[in-house]
Structure 1
């Protein structure tokens, strides 16, 4: 079985690698390190299909080191020791570069074994991960490595790779390949910055293209059929999951309905209904809050409807709710008030509950001022009477500040009038 096209066309030198200009452009830090020939231990962090493995291979070739590859999902400590055994042999006369893919799957013991050999410089480690290394890689490894973040490749950089893939397939198959310009552009943008996925999609298009008069024709429609879901990067337990959810909630908070609907669409395509509903409810309470308090039961009703009907119909009430949250006035006054109160409690500022609020109606013999002295607000005009509710230690503290919106300003005017007339 032939290797995938992306492997058959893997770049052999730095200038052939697409994307990552922030790292590999002329004068950029990683490019200077590679050109120096003195390669430190490194961690490549970023999504799949953007050149991490390819770059490791190029570095090994350029520095004339033996390249050994392991994968964190299958490798064991015995595999690591097996690589080290190749040191000072004809297999590795200039040293070893160990490329460990998906290092986040190595447990602590495995990473400690690895540490033993990179500590004494016997091997140079290049580890890659699709997850944030500061969360998944042990500090001992991190402190001895330099982390470089790889980013999804821009459409403009993917397009030449797609064209090269079609040209290679034409040469390999020995027949002309005619590709619509729109098909090339669609594959370049629909791959979501994953060059490997884009090149493999190009291969599929050639293998399934319609042949007329000895020419393989690749249309936009065919490209859409073969790459229809490839633009979506989503892992419900990974960084991309939380990045999309964060962008979704921040777009609603920022009152940008276009961005919010975009991220909603990505979550719907991924089928992540629970996360959508949770973030919607949080945003309605946290970010709209008292500026439009009626939104909470409205959004709750939309969420309930979405859960009951399920996808794909759930997208309808969800879209209504998202756009409503975006367009609603915003206030986090209640959220901030509670956080301020919690901060005081965590600092130990609690104090005794005032006597008039306690749930008891008797006094000990040592109390010289007997009685609860609670004033029942409903017995007074406007259902309010001045009395102390906070503990003595906090009696002058103000946690809540009225928001600058119609609803809370109306509350403020009402209570200013009432309390002003009764104090």
Structure 2
């Protein structure tokens, strides 16, 4: 049995981290201690105590406990749990602890609904994926969701030191872990307690004996074992979308340090394509017309990155992120197209005015196409007032000039031109 399972806490007080849920006086702790357990879904990254807490709760009830894992459970397994409700052992109801519920398909999840509704089955489920994306809505409406968070390093350190202590006792010889090494392991695991305990077990196995028959873990050894363990990133998981969102919001918020931090997290995870795509979007969505040349710079940086590949690609992408983070901002282009799309999707369109319809084919004049069109380049300033929007949308304004010098200069230019033509 792995060390992480051998030292798994058996009471809520032994669990490290999750104090927002487990501290005495909290709502969650009160619910658990009341013994009246509702249907619950635990959501959070791996190795932060979801399974441990679920087991502690389930084992302290008077109901029959069943454990299933979504990665291996079949519909027959679920029906076997339901069948026990009609037996003596299930007379007081059943607690179903369902790990990795996101791997059950919709039909399998629906099988439980009737029994969750009448309370004969109490569900305690855990998932590393956002339940609002992966759990059937009818299950969600019958459950309370509790979010588990990555464990802070000081709390992880407690588990690390306990792991070394238990191993020393079980192996029959001392295993010494200097304080700075325990700190390093606690930080490098990225908030994953299970990962830190696995590192403890691996380091103990790999360390050599000293003259006194003991083992001492060195910082160099810890660095070798935990090379990239602090990276918590999966291209298909919630954290991917969280990092992408944080990158864009940091650039939009003009924070260059945060921008390169989140870019680094994407690139350290090997996700070059997502970084490139998001930077291209930001150039138009958030910088836009305040710095129109920005899209050209970002496109050149992205092209260079794709040609170079990682790790060198990080340099031009850093340039792109920093150019945009420090550039003036305008979302007027995005706001304009979204407003126009809203009208189009709502059916507010109307016929295209005849004078700007296609008139290059024979017979167009007979159909009244392009007869009164005025060619702007034939007029002073290359401008002549004429209607372009459909009659149904005449006078509609989608584009609002942004409060930056580039767009304000364009606004002043066109105000002067239109004033010269007698327009408002």
Q: State TM-score, norm by structure 2.
A: 0.93
5 Å matches for 1:193-272?
193-213=191-211, 214-272=213-271
TM-superposed CA distance for 1:261, in Å, is 1.0
The offset of 1:330, in angstroms, is 0.9
Aligned partner (choices 149, 152, 155) of residue 154 of structure 1: 152
Task: Give the match's secondary structure for 1:126.
Answer: strand
Work out the CA distance in 2 between the residues paired with 1:331 and 1:85: 61
The reply on whether 1:166 has 2:169 as its aligned counterpart is no
Which residue matches 2:187?
189
Contact 1:39 1:124 (8 Å CA) reproduced: yes
Q: Is the 8 A contact 2:351 2:390 kept in 1?
A: yes
Q: C-alpha offsets along residues 51-73 of structure 1, whole Å, 9 cap, x if unaligned?
A: 11111111122224443211111
Alpha carbons 2:93, 2:119 under 8 Å: kept:
no
Give aligned pairs, total: 417
How far 1:356 sits from its partner (Å)?
Answer: 2.0
Gaps of 5+ in 2: none
Q: Residue 125 of structure 1 aligns to a residue in which SS?
A: strand
Q: 1:98 aligns with which of 75, 96, 99?
A: 96
Q: C-alpha distance in 1, partners of 2:140/2:346?
A: 34
**Residue 396 and residue 199 in structure 1: after superposition, are their counterparts in 2 closer, same or farther (change >3 A)?**
same
- Which string of whole-angstrom CA distances, capped at 9 and with x for unpartnered residues, describes residues 2-60 of structure 1? x1111000001011111112222112122111111111121111111111111111112
Corresponding residue for residue 314 of structure 2: 315
Q: How far is 1:87 from its partner?
A: 5.0
Alignment-derived partner of residue 127 in structure 2: 129
1:81 — aligned with what? 79
Kept in 2, the 8 Å contact 1:178–1:217? The answer is yes
CA 1:202–1:281: 2 relative to 1, 3 Å: same
User: Any idea what SS the aligned residue of 1:298 has?
Assistant: helix
Query: Which residue in the other structure is 1:342 paired with?
Result: 341
Counterpart secondary structure, 2:111: helix
CA distance in 2, matches of 1:389, 1:112: 54
Residue equivalent to 1:276: 275
Once the two structures are TM-superposed, the CA of residue 92 in structure 1 deviates from its matched residue by 6.4
Distance 1:185 1:72 in 2: 35
CA distances 1:358-416 after superposition (whole Å, capped 9, x unpaired):
2235245xx8xx97221111111111112222222222122111112222122122222
Q: In structure 2, what is the equivalent of residue 331 of structure 1? A: 330
Name the structure 2 match of 1:292: 291
CA distance in 2, matches of 1:224, 1:99: 37
d(CA) in 2 for partners of 1:93, 1:352: 70
CA distance in 1, matches of 2:91, 2:392: 74
Matches of 2:99 and 2:319, distance apart in 1: 43
Q: Partner residue of 1:362?
A: 365
Q: What is the CA-CA distance between 1:162 and the residue it aligns to? A: 1.3
Q: d(CA) in 2 for partners of 1:143 and 1:418?
A: 59
TM-score (norm 1): 0.93
Say which SS state the counterpart of residue 127 (structure 1) adopts.
strand
Contact kept, 8 Å, 1:363 with 1:371, in 2: the verdict is no
Please state whether the residue corresponding to 1:411 is helix, strand or coil: helix
Measure, in 1, the Cα distance between the counterparts of 2:191 and 2:136.
29
Alignment of 1:383-398 (within 5 A): 383-398=382-397
Whether the aligned pair in 1 keeps the contact of 2:357 and 2:370 (CA below 8 Å) is no
Structure 1: segments with no counterpart, 5+ residues: none
Aligned to 2:19, which of 21, 29, 40? 21
Work out the CA distance in 2 between the residues paired with 1:76 and 1:348.
47
Q: What's the counterpart of residue 53 of structure 1?
A: 51
1:145 correspondence with 2:148: no
Q: Contact (CA 8 Å) 1:50, 1:151: kept in 2 or not?
A: yes
**SS of alignment partner, residue 211 of structure 1:** coil
User: Alpha carbons of 1:93 and 1:211: their partners in 2 closer, same or farther (altered >3 Å)?
Assistant: farther
